[in-house]
Amino acid sequence: MRILVLMGGSSPERMVSLKSGEAVADGLTRKGHQILKMDPSRPEKVLTSEYRLYEGPVGETPVGENEPLDADKIEALLRCIKKYSVDLVFPMLHGGWGEDGRLQSVFELANIPFVGSGSASSALAMNKHLTKRVVSSEGVTTPEYYFIPRDSLNKIPDICREFGYPLVIKPNASGSTVGVSILQDETELEEAIALAAAQQDDALVERYIPGRELTVGILEGQGLTVVEIVPQEGYYDYKHKYTSGQTNYICPAKLETKITRRCLEQASIAFQILGCQVYGRADFRLTADGKIYFLEINTIPGMTELSLVPKSAAAVGIDFDELVNRLAVISMNLPR
């Protein structure tokens, strides 16, 4: 197949997207596909597989260039797809336009096959508040929380006092823990509010769940393997996610069989009830007394050398190249 891999974009997760996109392009090339690469925020440049859009590290802090994918850029992307007779688009755009359903809706209207979830489920999964409401209706347990509209962030201090500490403040629609703060007491509140406000998004104040960090890669609606995430220090923030040696991964996680089964079931339920397709990743917290709390689902999870879906797939015998090839084949034959 001739596959266009989209990477970069304009969200704060731009650098992660570039690394993910290059890895996916390499894997598909090794599987014999003809690959084109594009950063849709700079659609004038289309590269073949032997050229790199990016080769550097992700870095320790998010870097978003805030270049909106406006109508002209979308039109340039569609012209490129037609000009090069692209069979399939493989979006590796984390956050923003790439993951919130807007780009997927363009492809759906233009009848262009693409990898991953459709526009409606992408938009729903990107919205943490709505995701929680939907999955909880199916018996999936999530931490208690308050939803705060972006024009009411000044109410956060009162809500936090009422809610009690420790707690988490996070943007309603972002990934890679961008803008997330874990607060032990009120002394950390001012900085956390400023960080949340900088994302220009609604926010959640969420109960902090002490315990173990778990994640489940999902392929065609089924959980693959549970991976435990153990940061060297602190919590699993942007730096720990994308800096080699900052985090240990236990795959498969050393859990009681019933807990492993429950995580896989909950991941599958969340994926399916949100209407997601092809692949994704669900994140959980596990308390000392064995309670499992669903946090969120990712419809375009990272695919770097440190990423979790490839680890989850490898544990069940699916190597990276076969994984990305399978995602392409599944998506090509998927009715939209």
Q: State the catalytic residues.
A: 13, 176, 242, 281, 283, 296, 298, 302
Coil, strand or helix at 44:
coil
Look at the chain and count its residues. 336
**Contact between residue 174 and residue 95 where contact means Cβ atoms under 8 Å apart:** yes
Spatial CA neighbour of 296 closest among 87, 140, 92: 140
Coil, strand or helix at 73:
helix
How crowded is the C-beta side of 276, counted as CA atoms within 13 Å? 36
- Bridge partners of 148, per DSSP, are 203
Torsion angles phi and psi, residue 91, rounded to 5: -75, 125
Q: Got the DSSP string for 156-210?
A: HHHHHHHH-SSEEEEESS--TTTT-EEESSGGGHHHHHHHHHHTTS-EEEEE---
**Distance from chain centroid for Cα 34:** 26
**Contact between residue 218 and residue 272 where contact means Cβ atoms under 8 Å apart:** no
Spatial CA neighbour of 208 closest among 144, 146, 155: 144
Distances (CA, A) of 90 to 1, 101, 113, 147: 12, 14, 9, 33
